[in-house]
Structure 1
């Protein structure tokens, strides 16, 4: 058994942003677990192999609660309790209680009822771009679509959506040149959510937010902070992951014309293709940080309790010991052949995965049907990615059609 490494390795931000799969492959080949210093100065452990990542995602010893971080160790974005008391920061039994309440409101019927609205939103967005013959597929399609869908699900009127995308972007990838932007975004988001919840209390409707407010006001097991945090999580996660899945998936298809041609010829394979696209270039290279409640041994290396652990979804999804030829995009790959971890594993498996799959399937189907001559509008090397190792998404995706 190896002791903890004394000198952390530094992480090359540029390499992880530009080509995370090559960078993680080097780490994976060098060993199953590494002690690193991230670009923001955080000391953490990164786990790279598929089997280890899958096991630790579901390991009850890997806490999500920041109360189990060692003193002075974890330095994440400081959120007020009204935004912090969400499923990504909780362990059982609180996590079990909240997830049970949300699952009851986040029903399969409610998701299925969104199919037609999602299709209308996708068509409306393309209707605005088609006459121009070109677009930024992120700003004009991939980003506004999930915002509109989540707001439809929650029952947020279009006039009340405010500057939600800007606030979320400031939280996802803070601008080093504007250190106060993230703090301002937190304040704006909190005010927005408080006003929104107050509005739903006076105008109840058949939507998810009204249902959650009803659970809270029924005197049951949902506090006001938990209610606000749940809405924040649904809004932010439902936006961020889907916009990156649509953008990354579209780019992958454009860079693999043989696969794009196959999908056009066999549109019935689209749902399976979405799984391969999610594996090939998913939206979250790293799972939400964990804190072991006791010393944990991974690949012969002991990680002390309370340390920050980063489980690399990007590396696991490209581990050749589990996925044959992982660097190859194969839209006919059987889902069971990869068992990708993009949506997580265990009790923290993404609650919104069915909705995300539905949105991405409809978004890509609409693009393929309505834009038969879709092509990149700039050379590949001019594309820019979000400058963060915690999200994998394009800043813009210029296309012509």
Structure 2
């Protein structure tokens, strides 16, 4: 790939990664070692910048000079025709702060840690059921998906039995298929109608869950609108299971490719938390950069001046391999120590469920390495046309 440092650099097609593996495309390192930013063209929307260096990524994600709310008034660069407007990911402080505070109490480290025994038991139950049926088994369907689905459904107050229904809407929300803007919006409205029905039930029969607490914040405190309430619950439901369900099999594949790593975690389970942090740093979940931030004034990033009104996408996976921050960044190192990766984002939009995701990933890896020291993958069927990468089916033996 040829890069230019002139005032009008060439525009390259994006994303670079392929959906059928976990590799990070070489183009990211070329950009990071060059100007740091590149002009990129996604399938839909306007041309934008792509930030690949760690320092630039943190600036775009946290500096108030970069706005998510501005995306609503622009033709945001994106992977699909339909646009995701509204919701907590499309606003800036103070509106973002107002919505986040309503949910944050349910996701504190202390509250999440109190769930560890429950999550550990659920992991073992799922594995016991799979082992009882014998090998081979699909680790996605039997373990990676039901684990976070059951946990987030219980926290939020959604019937786990509705999984097939909201799974379809979740897939549509993260899809990059040829679904038209109208079809995308129709799917979104169906999902909203489903959540309206659940919220009506919570109003009639309150229960001890996050959805009931949010209903009270809406009805008693008038702290959010009805649409904000609906979109917030839908966002939590999708984000609360999809990323973890994808990363569990991704982590298994990555570890098996690192000679001796799987056996070491079986023999030394105390290394599991460190392994999760390294895997979050090294395994690129997204097919490409995340949601664009718009510069509200001219900002210098690396060797490039981003003009006011221009969008910037952040390549988190490239930033997490920046040699200016991480020694020997391409190596999986269980002795790395503190890892300041941005796998869960950074700034105001840092992943609200990071503590929950960490717990689920830790307990999932602990259970899998403990029960399947000789685990082997026999078949992988990758997700396609999705903004996240990972197996939709992965058969294992033990």
Give the TM-score normalised by the residue count of structure 2.
0.89
Alignment match, 2:158: 156
TM-aligned CA distance change 1:400 to 1:306, over 3 Å: same
* Partner Cα distance (1:28, 1:320) in 2: 10
Question: Does the residue aligned with 1:357 lie in a helix, a strand or coil?
Answer: helix
- The 1-side partners of 2:373 and 2:292 are apart by 41
Among residues 303, 307, 332, which one is paired with 1:300 in the alignment? 303
Please tell me whether the aligned partners of residues 61 and 294 of structure 1 are also in contact (alpha carbons under 8 angstroms). yes
String of CA shifts for 1:261-308, please: whole Å, max 9, x gaps: 221121112112111111110423533321111122212312222222
| In structure 2, distance between residues paired with 1:170 and 1:367 | 30
47-56 or 391-400, larger mean C-alpha shift: 391-400
Aligned to 1:325: 328
**Shift of residue 393, structure 1, vs aligned partner:** 2.3
* Number of the residue aligned with 1:283: 285
Q: Distance in 2 between matches of 1:174 and 1:98?
A: 27
> Is 1:121 aligned to residue 122 of structure 2?
yes
**Counterpart-to-counterpart distance in 2, 1:257 and 1:106:** 35
Task: Give the direction of change, closer, same or farther, for the CA distance of 1:280–1:245 in structure 2 (3 Å limit).
Answer: same
The question of whether the paired residues in 1 share the 8 Å contact of 2:321 and 2:329 is answered with yes
1:92 maps to 93
**Structure 1 373/99 Cα, relative in aligned 2: closer, same or farther at 3 Å?**
same
Say if 2:364 is the partner of 1:367.
no
Corresponding residue of 1:29: 33
Whole-angstrom CA distance in 1 between matches of 2:350 and 2:276: 17
C-alpha distance in structure 1 between counterparts of 2:188 and 2:245, whole Å: 21
Residue pairs, 1:2-401, within 5 angstroms: 4-5=7-8, 7-11=10-14, 13=16, 15=18, 18=21, 19-40=23-44, 42-66=46-70, 69-70=73-74, 72=75, 74=77, 78=82, 84-130=85-131, 131-176=133-178, 182-284=184-286, 286-335=289-338, 338-378=339-379, 384-388=382-386, 390-401=387-398
Q: CA deviation at 1:236?
A: 1.1
SS of residue in 1 equivalent to 2:155: helix
Once the two structures are TM-superposed, the CA of residue 21 in structure 1 deviates from its matched residue by 4.2
Give distance in 1, aligned partners of 2:209 and 2:322: 41
Deviates most, 236-245 or 121-130: 121-130
CA contact (8 A) 2:52 2:315 kept: yes
Q: Which runs of 5+ in 2 are unaligned?
A: none
TM-score relative to the length of structure 1: 0.89
Count of residue pairs brought into register by the alignment:
390
Distance 2:308 2:15 in 1: 26
* Structure 1 unmatched runs, 5+: none
Contact preservation (8 Å) 1:58, 1:345: yes
Q: Check whether the contact 1:3–1:301 (CA below 8 A) recurs between aligned residues.
A: no
Contact 2:17–2:25 (CA under 8 A) maintained in structure 1: no
Change (3 A) 1:12 1:56: closer
Moved more, 162-171 or 367-376: 162-171
Matched position secondary structure for 2:229 = helix
